């Protein structure tokens, strides 16, 4: 795995990118704070005072991180942030996770968890479909019993539950 061709991202690249992103967030916060007074009124700081300087400190500290990254660039360039194998694992785990959130926000948590658990078990775990379905539907029922029945906390439901009249 020491093969440099297998390195997808160097630590240096990610350090610099993240510092740039945090600096940008700092700028957004500072600009957002300008909507209110950022000065010092009679009774101390005005509402925009804190966010304004928080934003500025974020930008300055991000600058500090950037300087540190460039000072150590030789070492950081040689350090791998993500190798090909790791990247594949992350993609295989993170992709379905995004899919789960997408389906959940459209069709509700119950449908999403059944689809997600079944799919990951069949595709990644190489289980047979009936078994995967049994596990995922069983989990959905357990979630329903724990949250809706026992603790009376409703979970996000979609059109399917409305159709089946499950509240």
Partner 1 sequence: MENFGNLMDGFRIAASGYHVVIMVAGVLLGILVGVLPGLGAPNGVSLLLPLTFTMDPVSAIILLTSMYWGALFGGSTTSILFNIPGEPSSVATTFDGYPMARDGRATHALTLAFLSAGTGALFGVAVITGLSGWVTQFALKFSSPEYFAVYLLVFASFVGMGNASPFKTVVSMMLGFAVATIGVDTISGNVRLTYGIPDLVKGISFLVAVIGLFGLGELLQTMEEGLRFEGIHARISPREVLKTALTLPRHWVTLLRSALVGCWMGITPGGPTAASFMSYGLAKRFSRRKEGFGKGEPDGVVAPETADHAAGTCAILPMLALGIPGSATAAVMMGGLMIWGLTPGPMLFIERPDFVWSTIASMYLGNVIAVILVLATVPMFAAILRIPFSIIGPMIVVVCFVGAYTVSGARLDLWFALAFGVVGYLLKKLDYPIAPMVLAMILGDKTEDAFRQSMLMSKGSMSVFYSNPLVGTITTLAILLLLWPLLSRALQAARKRPAAGGNPAR
Check residue 51 for interaction with partner 1 (CB under 8 A).
yes
Closest to partner 1 by CB, 3 or 42: 42
Measure the CA angle with vertex 48, ends 47 and 52; round to 5°: 145
- Shortest Cβ 120–partner 1 spacing (Å): 4
- CA-closest candidate to residue 6, choices 116, 68, 82, 72: 82
- CA-closest candidate to residue 65, choices 54, 76, 52: 76
Check residue 144 for interaction with partner 1 (CB under 8 A).
no
Tokens linked to 62: 């991000």
Check residue 70 for interaction with partner 1 (CB under 8 A).
no
- CA-closest candidate to residue 155, choices 97, 104, 103: 104
Half-sphere exposure of 154 (CA within 13 A, CB side): 7
Tell which positions 76-135 bind partner 1, by CB under 8 A: 81-82, 85-86, 89-90, 93-94, 96-98, 100-101, 104-105, 109, 113, 116-117, 120-121, 124-125, 127, 135
Number of residues that bind partner 1 (CB under 8 A): 67
Q: Whole-angstrom Cα distance, residue 106 to residue 44?
A: 46
Check residue 45 for interaction with partner 1 (CB under 8 A).
yes
Number of CB atoms found within 10 A of residue 52's CB: 22
| Residues lying near partner 1 in the complex (CB under 8 A) | 11, 14-15, 18-19, 22, 25-26, 29, 32-33, 35-36, 40-48, 50-51, 54-55, 57-58, 61-62, 64-65, 68, 81-82, 85-86, 89-90, 93-94, 96-98, 100-101, 104-105, 109, 113, 116-117, 120-121, 124-125, 127, 135, 139, 143, 147, 151-156
């Amino acid at each position: 795995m020491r093969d440099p061709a297998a390195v997808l991202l160097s630590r240096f690249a990610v350090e610099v990118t993240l510092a740039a992103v945090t600096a940008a967030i700092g700028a957004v916060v500072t600009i957002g704070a300008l909507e209110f007074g950022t000065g010092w009124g009679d009774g101390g700081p005005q509402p925009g005072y804190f966010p304004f300087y928080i934003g500025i400190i974020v930008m300055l500290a991000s600058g500090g991180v950037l300087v540190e990254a460039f000072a150590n660039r030789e070492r950081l360039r040689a350090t791998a942030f993500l190798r090909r194998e790791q990247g594949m694992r992350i993609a295989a785990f993170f992709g379905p996770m995004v899919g789960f959130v997408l389906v959940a926000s459209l069709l509700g948590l119950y449908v999403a968890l059944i689809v997600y658990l079944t799919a990951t078990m069949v595709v990644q775990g190489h289980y047979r479909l009936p078994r995967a379905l049994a596990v995922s539907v069983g989990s959905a029922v357990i979630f329903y019993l724990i949250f809706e029945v026992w603790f009376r906390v409703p979970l996000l439901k979609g059109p399917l539950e409305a159709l089946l009249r499950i509240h």
